[in-house]
Amino acid sequence: MTQHIGQIALVVRNYDEAIKFYTEKLNFVLFEDTVLTETKRWVVVGPSGKTGCKLLLAKAANDRQLSSVGNQTGGRVFLFLYTDDFYRDYQNLIDQQIKIIREPSTESYGTVAVFADLYGNLWDLIEVFNEKIQRGNLK
């Protein structure tokens, strides 16, 4: 049996502002935007690659969910954006005036910086030195 995580739900305040941020500032692709009801849509964004996990943008439906927007993990890095050109994508973050939380550093596994999305969720931007690390095989 083969398994993989296809999508992660990210609670957002507003569908359209989230789509705009991810597609215009991070250059993600809008894979799907389907109206389900008057208040609910199925919105999927992600990096342009055909494989890998996507984000399901889930609009907060009540006060409890709204209070979690931007803090789904209690302030820890939540999402990991792997790249084949760290400095190209880091420069895009700067050009798009995206908040940098931790400047680039070289670690044993690669080059990494931490940035915040429009809601404050923390992301690692990572270019790994060894493809095995990216796949989760640390041997």
Please check whether the two domains, 1-69 and 70-139, share a CATH topology. Answer: yes
Domains of the chain, by residue range, sit at: 1-69, 70-139
Amino acid at 21: F
Distance, CA of 107 to CA of 111 (rounded, Å): 6
Q: What is the pLDDT of residues 101-116, one digit of tens each?
A: 999 999 999 999 999 9
Distance, CA of 66 to CA of 69 (rounded, Å): 5
Distance, CA of 109 to CA of 126 (rounded, Å): 9
In CATH terms, 1-69 corresponds, of 3.10.20.600, 3.40.50.2300, 3.10.180.10, 3.40.50.300, to: 3.10.180.10
Closest CA to 33 of 51, 49, 12: 12
The residues near 114 (Cβ < 8 Å, ≥ 6 apart) are 77, 100, 101, 102, 122, 123, 124, 125
Superfamily of domain 70-139: 2,3-Dihydroxybiphenyl 1,2-Dioxygenase, domain 1 (3.10.180.10)
Q: What is the pLDDT of residues 53-109, one digit of tens each?
A: 999 999 999 999 999 999 999 999 999 999 999 999 999 999 999 999 999 999 999
pTM recorded for the entire structure? 0.89
